[in-house]
Structure 1
Amino acid sequence: MSAAVLDASTLETLIAAAVTAPSIHNSQPWRFRLDPDDVALEIRAADRHGLRHIDPQGRALHLSIGCAIFNLRVAVAHFGWTPVARLLPRPTEPDLLAVVPLSSAVTGRSTRLSALYGALWRRHSSRFPFSSRPLPRRLLGELAMAAQAEGALLTHPGPAETDRLLQLHVGTERLNTADAGRRQGAAVWRTVLTARASAYRLRP
């Protein structure tokens, strides 16, 4: 497979694919920039606005941007480039979380990632409760192998671990409800999300 030509349309599609990623409270806390000298896309953390009370250590922000980086790599592979991300490339720029070069070398791993391209556009949020139906063991194994291919470990909690996680979640929600700062942060994001849904723009 030959690499695509990096024109404005391709660049727009790459970024559109990246931002289909999920993010905390749908905040989309990322910014993208094309480095014309190195022919690479930079992914930076955006201003956290009202997320500091909700996500004081930035963990959810980094998870959100990690999802966008993965989506970008899938799109990069789809267009024929090697989907490699250099993480935290410049210590003096802590908001620069990754750089994805656009090269023409294609590998077998690129083919594996590019097969996920169509799924990027089908992903959507759901507020419905989860089904109690257990997932097939084969699917769980495939998910674990996919995570391992990305250098991650995916484990599946049993009943006791699940109960413990639920108890931790309930306790955390109680703390959040009792914290005025966190309530204010949540209120800010409800306002932002409502404005986005209504196509309004917030002005400072």
Structure 2
Amino acid sequence: MTDTGASPAPPDPGSLAARRLPFATPGGVSRTVNAAGAAPSVHNTQPWRFHRVDDATMELYADLDRLLAVTDPMGRGLGISCGAALFNLRLAVRMTGHDAQVTALPDPAARPDLLATVRATPGEPPDQDERLMYDMIPHRRTNRFPFDDRRLPKDVFVELVHAAHAEGATLVLVKGRTARRVLDMIGTADDTLAAEESYRAELATWTDPSRRLDGVPEHAFGPRPRDGRLPMRDFSLRGAARPSADFEADPQVAALFTRGDGPLDWLRAGQALQRVLLTATAHGVAASLFSQPLDLRPAQHHGEQAGPLGHVQMLARFGYGPPVPRVPRRSVFEVLDPVEVPGG
């Protein structure tokens, strides 16, 4: 999963603009879609499209042309990415003083790419926590650089756990030998993927320097871990020259679980992940994500119960790292049907 772009400031919930339905004006549509499009996504593919139905209703679609056929053939990563965008869209609606009523997968048989319908209904003004999370949208980053050795305070991690729980997911800190085993598993999966020509070709597509609106630019790769103990995904495809650096000796790793493992669960995981990441950002906590072992999960394991907490949907590393620049974003008019912009 990758980086963020900017989102415009929300209207004052007491103002006339805030009392308007969120999709009633070009500015309202632009604000909400920009916020949604600032979500993290696998390889910064930004695999979403938006369709304005009316002044109160927006539809979120999966852009299946951006599915990673090698590493994400079932669309799990795409679903999580779109779930993160959905959470941002919900927050943007809340900033107008409306509630966001979400219908997930409203017509899976006829329109499997229609992931959610979001309808604005009368609501209370946003609370302080909602405002803070919304304000964090343009500041959240995927940070692949070394973190220092400071530990997250217990109360901060508890807030991250509560953030995941609020979206129907479970976040668990992985410690000690278990953490080392998880990191070794990630490293083994990364090596397996990197050995496949089809994976290298897919990764090259999304790291091509000519990409200006999406993909992972070189400045976001991060350095190679000098001792190789922290298995950061190598976007430079092993052979390319790249600086190395010392990473933290004891990474703080957490796993995000959902009870099930299907399209609804992936959307839920994405919303939970984004709530966790925005909460972390508000505390000055950086994060990077690992999905390599999940990329290799065989299709025949889909839907099986993985354990008492359900299914792992994402592995995350938290800590305190240097500031990192944003990565590119597609504009509103590239992700929204232009004929649906009111007044356009």
User: TM exceeds 0.5?
Assistant: yes
CA distance in 1, matches of 2:179, 2:74: 24
CA distance in 1, matches of 2:131, 2:67: 35
1:68 aligns with 2:82: no
1:181 equivalent in structure 2: 198
Give the gaps of 5 or more residues in structure 1.
Answer: none
1:51 equivalent in structure 2: 68
1:34 equivalent in structure 2: 52
CA distance in 2, matches of 1:147, 1:50: 25
User: Offset of 1:44 from its aligned partner?
Assistant: 0.5
2:176 equivalent in structure 1: 159
Question: Letter of the aligned partner of 1:102 in structure 2?
Answer: A
Equivalent position to 1:84, from 95, 101, 114 = 101
1:10 aligns with 2:31: no
Q: How many residue pairs get matched? A: 196
Contact 1:75/1:114, CA 8 A, preserved across alignment = no
TM-score when normalising by structure 1: 0.87
Contact 1:15/1:32, CA 8 A, preserved across alignment = yes
CA distance in 1, matches of 2:180, 2:97: 44
Greater strand share, structure number: 2
Greater helix share, structure number: 1
Give the gaps of 5 or more residues in structure 2.
Answer: 1-12, 218-327, 331-344
Equivalent position to 1:140, from 157, 170, 182 = 157
User: Offset of 1:74 from its aligned partner?
Assistant: 0.9
Question: Letter of the aligned partner of 2:19 in structure 1?
Answer: A
User: Offset of 1:50 from its aligned partner?
Assistant: 6.4
CA distance in 1, matches of 2:58, 2:66: 24
User: Offset of 1:131 from its aligned partner?
Assistant: 2.8
Question: Letter of the aligned partner of 1:145 in structure 2?
Answer: H
User: Offset of 1:93 from its aligned partner?
Assistant: 0.6
Q: What does residue range 91-110 of structure 1 map to in structure 2 within 5 Å?
A: 91=108, 92-106=110-124, 110=126
Deviations 1:14-59 (A, max 9, x none): 00111111111111000011112x8311110003446111212211
User: Offset of 1:135 from its aligned partner?
Assistant: 0.4
User: Over aligned residues, Cα RMSD in angstroms?
Assistant: 2.3
| Percentage identity across paired residues of the two chains | 34
Deviations 1:46-86 (A, max 9, x none): 03446111212211111111110011111111111102321
Structure with the bigger RCO (C-alpha within 8 Å, sep 6+) is 2
1:126 aligns with 2:138: no
